[in-house]
Structure 1
Amino acid sequence: MAQKPCCTPTRDGPPNVISDSIKPAVRTDLHVDAITIAAGKGLVGTNSPRIPNDGESPLRPTKIAAFRIGTTTVTNAQFKAFVDATGFVTEAEKFGWSFVFWAQVPNQTGPTHAVLDADWWRHMDGANWRDINGPDTMAQAWHPDHPVVQVSWNDAKAYCDWVGGRLPSEAEWEHAARGGQGDVPFPWGNAEPNDTDQTPCNIWQGHFPETNTARDGYVTTAPAQGFAPNAFGLYNLVGNVWEWTSDAYTIKSLKKDVRARLAQMKGYKLSKGGSFLCHRSYCERYRIAARSGSSPDSATTHHGFRVVWPA
């Protein structure tokens, strides 16, 4: 299993492309909570990067065409409706395993393989979107109103196709996350989250990766409508789960070490927003400008997605 940046592991080998993706008829009768973002000028990035080698800077203007975006990430209940209607099989199910955070590995599980240089991630046979932490864990870990996880980029795209939508671009995602506030680091503004009294999102509190005090109320995922929405009415844009985007993971850099890392990440897809595993001491990526990349066939317990549609 290959090492990768940030707190998301990725599968070994070249990214897999699903060759037998279903092409079901687009559903038009589904009720989806979404808002329309008007066309206008947006911002991408920051002039105050905290992880410069991720390509967070510079802050730059961009033109935004109008689009509709889900107020939340796709939930377990919504993804289940897709699977029930189409018989879709996720990549984690096809591989027969996926990545699980060490603290969520079931007590009855025997020894597990750890990811190189990130041994809090474990290779778990039988982990998938239903049994999130491994076999027979659905009853404890699966909640219909929580974000669906253990879904790859390819899985997310298949769902988006089914509902007549697509994954957001990085520019669309950042514009939506800023909520009309301009150059702010967080969807709620400038106030920094902490481990005690400022918990506006679902991230790690305590000492990563050993102890999570869960001061925000959640050890793992929160409901998709957990915490207050931003000014646009969108929930959990940072923290909770990473969100796949439509963009490739690229960085403009002249640094040799960054270019070497990118060469090993050819074909990777960009994710935004951070997750419940982010903490300032290790993965300070619960910010609008933060970025991460992973192979399109990878899935974890803290990775989901939301959908956009034409306005």
Structure 2
Amino acid sequence: MPTRQEWQPINRLTPLRTGRSACDVIAVKGGATFVGTSEPVLPMDGEGPRRAITLDDFYLEAEAVTVARFAEFVESTGYVTEAETFGCSAVFSGLLPDAARATHNIAGTPRWMQIDAASWNRPEGPGSSTGDRLEHPVTQVSWNDAMAFAAWAGGRLPTEAEWEHAARGGNRSRRYPWGDAEPRDDTIFCNIWQGRFPHENTLADGFLGTAPARSYDPTDDGFYNLAGNVWEWTAEPFRVRSVSKAAKIRNLQAAKNIEKILKGGSFLCHESYCYRYRIAARIGLSPDSAASNVGFRLAYDRMPAM
């Protein structure tokens, strides 16, 4: 494991971002580092093998893009998200009234409902709003929506390696952005499920769904919620680095659907069900996918103008 002297520090900078919203951008020192893990928990997700790489210096926002910032983008451009175009999106059933849970099931995913008119500003469909969630991460946004926002804001989506490098605080080996300590119901580091999934959520962290983008303690370098809260889109296509038959089948599926990598887990993760709030964990979704627990944060090649 690298000593503290061997990993490169990350320096925090704070420019003013678009329109009325402010967002911290953190300068990340590149260099020799790695991506993945040599001890994958979910090998078929492609968590391993650990691979040595070299990164250029880059910049990454301290938090996920919020509802307020996304609203500015829509107001400025008239952009229509893919969920709005499709007329529906995936909503976690636990966020819905009892009457809605009995309808609109998505085949093969009993905990998710396809809800008409669910979108970034009506995350649970008609009757819902984001009025009390302006500082929460925007959700119900596809990879294509995130790319459109990034182009407008002058940024981009991070690569998987950049995301992991920032989450680890350089080339340190650690399981979570805060270290190796396991989050428990009485030791809360992030917004994940508490209790028995999916039957009971004790709400020990105070949230059933998303939490504000700046909830919980940041990492040593100033990043918020790189574990839990919402899955974050990255720039890269999903692929499992294995020659096994199962991996080949998964890769064919991912290529057919043009899947992209998401990192970080979400408020629905739990060790017994979706142990994917670890840094090396990942999933793949088609670029037009949107859901209650999917968002993004921006990266930059150079410091954005103040």
Q: Assess same fold via TM > 0.5.
A: yes
Task: Give the letter for the 2:253 counterpart.
Answer: Q
TM-superposed deviation, 1:261: 2.4
- Which residue identity does 1:208 align to in structure 2? F
Query: 1:210, CA displacement in angstroms?
Result: 1.8
Separation in structure 2 between the aligned mates of residue 45 and residue 199 of structure 1, nearest angstrom: 25
Residue matched to 1:300: 291
Letter in 2 for 1:121: W
Q: TM-score, normalization: structure 1?
A: 0.87
Which residue is 1:180 aligned to? 170
Relative distance call for 1:139 and 1:91 in structure 2 (3 A) is closer
The equivalent position to 1:234 in structure 2, one of 215, 223, 242, is 223
Letter in 1 for 2:38: N
Q: Cα–Cα, structure 1 residues 39 and 139, in superposed 2: closer, same or farther, change >3 Å?
A: closer
Task: Give the deviation of 1:123 after TM superposition.
Answer: 0.7
Tell which deviates more after alignment, 264-273 or 70-79: 264-273
Match of 1:126 among 100, 114, 117: 117
> Which residue is 1:193 aligned to?
183
In structure 2, the CA distance between the partners of 1:248 and 1:137, relative to structure 1 (3 Å rule), is same
- Residue-pair matches, total: 284
C-alpha contact (below 8 Å) 1:42/1:62 kept by paired residues: yes
Find the counterpart in structure 2 of residue 112 from structure 1.
103
Of residues 53-62 and 265-274 in structure 1, the stretch that sits farther from structure 2 once superposed is 53-62
Q: Map residues 207-246 of structure 1 onto 2, 5 A cutoff.
A: 207-246=196-235
TM-score by length of 2: 0.89
Deviation (angstroms), 1:183: 0.8
Distance 2:233 2:239 in 1: 14
Aligned Cα root-mean-square deviation (Å):
1.8
- Counterpart position of 1:282: 273
> Does the CA contact (< 8 Å) of 1:45 and 1:59 recur in 2?
yes
Which residue does 1:51 correspond to in 2? 42
Residue 14 of structure 2: aligned partner: none
Q: Which residue of 2 aligns with 1:160?
A: 150
Among 64, 78, 93, the alignment partner of 2:55 is: 64
Do 2:240 and 2:250's aligned partners in 1 also have CA atoms closer than 8 Å? no
SS in 1 for 2:180: coil
State the AA in 2 paired with 1:147.
P
What's 2:5 paired with? none
1:146-191 deviation digits (Å, cap 9, x = unpaired)? 0000000000000000010000000000000001361101000010
Q: 1:206 Cα deviation (Å)?
A: 1.1
Contact 1:43–1:183 (8 Å) recurs in 2: no
Compared with structure 1, are the counterparts of its residues 62 and 29 closer, same or farther at alpha carbon in structure 2 (3 Å cutoff)?
Answer: farther
Kindly provide the amino acid, as one letter, of the partner of residue 280 in structure 1: E
In the superposition, relative to structure 1, how do residues 285 and 232 fare at CA in structure 2: closer, same or farther (>3 Å)?
Answer: same
Query: Distance between the aligned counterparts of 1:110 and 1:281, measured in 2?
Result: 23
Q: Aligned AA for 2:71?
A: K
In structure 2, what is the equivalent of residue 79 of structure 1? 70
Given the alignment, which residue of 143, 152, 159 partners 1:169? 159
Of the three residues 243, 249, 252, the one matched with 2:241 is: 252
2:30·2:56 contact (CA, 8 Å) conserved in 1?
yes
- Is the CA contact (8 Å cut-off) linking 1:28 and 1:163 kept in structure 2? no
* Gap runs ≥5 in structure 1: 1-25
Equivalent residue for 1:91, pick from 75, 82, 87: 82
Supply the distance in 1 between the matched residues of 2:173 and 2:232 (Cα, whole angstroms). Answer: 21
Distance 2:203 2:230 in 1: 15
| Aligned residues with identical type, % of pairs | 48
Amino acid at match of 1:132: P
